[in-house]
Amino acid sequence: MAIIGAHVSAAGGLHNCFANAEAIGAECLQIFGASPRQWTANLPSAAAVKQFKAEEKRSGLGPVFLHAAYLVNLGSSLSELRSKSVASLASHLKIVELIGARGLIFHIGSAGKGSRREAIELVAHGMKSVLDRVPGKAQLIMENGAGGGGKLGATPEEIGEIFRLVKNKRVKVCLDTQHAFAAGVLASYSPEEIRATVKRFDDALGWENVVALHANDSQSRSGSFHDRHENIGEGYIGLGGFRNLAADPDINGRPWILEVPGFANDGPDARNVAILKKIFGQAAAV
């Protein structure tokens, strides 16, 4: 069975994410462990961790993923930016470890105008440093990008390259449906194309390492390379595309995390969650 969830707010205390998820019917969740627009991240106190775990137990929701800060770029040619990125990811990963969440999802980064080959090696090197700094079970999860310009990790093959360079069991992958569409990896969302994409990921890094999906429709066309999320069924992927995903046995067992604008422009909402749950109902009936 799929686990349908969403990115929710953890404002006012990390434990608040569970009540926020319950309010929209989300079963699994993603949060920011600290402000996504700042380099520094405060670690939760022992009392905050206790409160988080109590709420997690009470709600029965999960898994919980954290999303990294937007400023991070491990592939930057600027060493200062890279070391800040390593420090930021390590703090957020430490929060994952402290609260017992599943992992930290991050954007792989960009080579900018620099060499792509070098940037890939820098990303792998940075990821190793992050993992070294935070021992434990917390997973470091690469998210596929929308591509374009020097952006890294839009294709299963490039993500696989980094995966093999880092060579650590705690490295995993999150597949964002909108990014895959914008990058032209999943351009039609036909059952055949979905099968072929699962096979590409399987060949590149082992499908079992794709541990979560970001379920987002797309405001921009396939091949646009634009990272623009849309509510489920309102974009170019459409309900048909999501039905095909839900019908695929390799895809549907994963946690599905909405990162959509919401019908009231207030982030993932009950209506988007309900649409996804309905799609699964329909997929099961086929």
Site of interaction with Zn ion (CB under 5 A) = 176, 214, 259
CB of 226 to Zn ion, least distance (A): 13
Q: Name the minimum Å distance from CB 178 to Zn ion.
A: 7
Residue 143 annotated among the catalytic residues of the structure: yes
Listed in order, strand segments (DSSP E) in the chain are 3-7, 29-32, 64-67, 103-107, 139-143, 171-176, 210-215, 217-218, 229-230, 255-258
Nearer Cβ to Zn ion (44/75)? 75
Asked if residues 65 and 102 have their Cβ atoms less than 8 Å apart, the reply is yes
- Is 118 an active-site residue? no
Q: Tell me whether residue 84 or residue 229 sits nearer to Zn ion (CB atom).
A: 229
Q: Decide if 70 is catalytic.
A: yes
Catalytic, 176? Answer: yes
The answer to whether 97 and 134 are in contact (CB under 8 A) is yes
Element (H, E) at 127: helix 116-133
Measured from the CB atom, is 98 or 105 closer to Zn ion? 105
User: How many of the other CB atoms lie within 10 Å of CB of 240?
Assistant: 13
The answer to whether residue 67 is catalytic is yes
Q: Which CB sits closer to Zn ion, 217 or 259?
A: 259
Active-site hit among 15, 82, 107, 243: 107
From the CB of 67, what's the least distance to Zn ion, in Å? Answer: 8
Active site residue 189: no
Q: Given 27, 55, 143, 161, which residue is catalytic?
A: 143
SS3 content of the chain, % helix, strand, coil (to 5): 45, 15, 40
Active site residue 179: yes
Judge whether 226 counts as a catalytic residue. no
107 annotated among ligand-binding-site residues: yes
Residue 143 in marked binding region = yes
Catalytic residue among 7, 15, 170, 229: 229
Q: Which of 176, 217, 230, 269 is catalytic?
A: 176
Is 7 annotated in a binding site? The answer is no
Through-space distance between the first and last CA atoms of the chain, rounded to whole angstroms: 15
Q: CA 81, CA 102: separation in Å to the nearest integer?
A: 26
Known binding residue 67? Answer is yes
**Of 158 and 259, which has the nearer Cβ to Zn ion?**
259
3-state secondary structure 137-148: CCEEEEECCCCC
Q: What are phi and psi for residue 125, nearest 5 degrees?
A: -65, -45
Catalytic machinery residues: 37, 67, 70, 107, 143, 176, 179, 214, 227, 229, 259
Annotated binding site for Zn(2+), which residues? 67, 107, 143, 176, 179, 214, 227, 229, 259
